[in-house]
Structure 1
Amino acid sequence: MKWVQRFNLAERILHWITALLVLTLLITGVSLYADGSREQLGSLRFQVRTLHHYAGLALMVIPPLFITMFFPALKPFLREMTHWRAGDVEWLTGKSKVAHKFNGGQKLNFLFTLIWLMGLAVTGFLIWKQPFITQQIREFLYSWHRLLFWLISIQLMGHLYLSVLHPPTRHAFKGIIRGKVKRSWANTHHSLWLEEVEKNDATTDSHR
């Protein structure tokens, strides 16, 4: 077959729920704290701030709840993303370019995204909901919140470039939309994973 299944439906829904909420937070965050856009908001500033707060709360609740509800379908993805092999480190250092379902760069991207989002969630929630925090501590938390915003923004731009614009890797974008990628692409970028898929397919066929 020309195409191979890369992501199941639960994996794709989790990705797009998270992506939508993160983009909402980034856009509303820029609108609220960039001098030019903040002035243009005028009377809408309260509504935008409310959207920012509740999008952040949704990001803290909805993805973990979705993972809990559909854990059997998401377990292989989560295990693969958090399971580091020697080959992943070799991929990062340039010693090897063969990879399983996710290469070392993708796993590192996943890890840092989790760290930035957790930091943003904690600092944002404390700024929003804790009246006992002093102004000095609040300013300290704002500083960290802004730093984490820039870190995740830079990382997101790199992720979008590689997944949408960079010719060798942009085919992967089809996988997160349709769930499938071409076998030829998978063989070039994730040959070890494709070997596992073909072996499992052959085993399944032999038991029919």
Structure 2
Amino acid sequence: MISAISGSVAQSFRPPAISLAARGTESVQPKGSDSGKSSRLGALTEEQKKQVEQLKKTDREVRAHEQAHKNAGGQFTGSASFGYTVGPDGRRYAVSGEVPIDVAPVEGDPAATVSKMTIVASAALAPAKPSGQDRKVAALATSIRTEAQAELAAKSRDKLSGKDESDSKSSALSAQAAYTTGSSPEKGSQIAGSLLDLFS
């Protein structure tokens, strides 16, 4: 899962079913030799062994999911944090996770905002199975990107309309220069019109 951060406010979204949440990857099992681990695994029932295998699978999937966010989001993501549960073997397994991502627009730079939000949306949808929260963050980034694109389009239109004004000013100056020198654009068009009539 990816959590959106806008400015200095973090919006954290954790699944409500998770009761144990901690940071770190160390095992709950006391330090010691591996013989304690093998004897503990040997003491597990078949059902507990299946549960441990399922927890291992979930742990791998959760870590891969969060790593996909990190890889795609690059500089706009923070460190992954995980929620853990303790298995029947005494080890902790990641069962939920989140990666914070910056969804704040780049102040005063809509082009940079478009680029950033493209990366953010891509990062939110990077895992094989994006969560509902991942999709919300992607939608938010897409919305911000659309606003920035509209701002760029408006600036482009303003620039073009400003260019049109300068063109009309240069036409006025050209007409004034022609009047001053004694030539007239009307005479030129009359001559051109006469030539056209000759060829028809």
Same fold (TM over 0.5): no
Query: Could you say which structure has the higher strand fraction?
Result: 2
User: TM-score by structure 2 length?
Assistant: 0.25
User: TM-score by structure 1 length?
Assistant: 0.24
Query: Could you say which structure has the higher helix fraction?
Result: 1
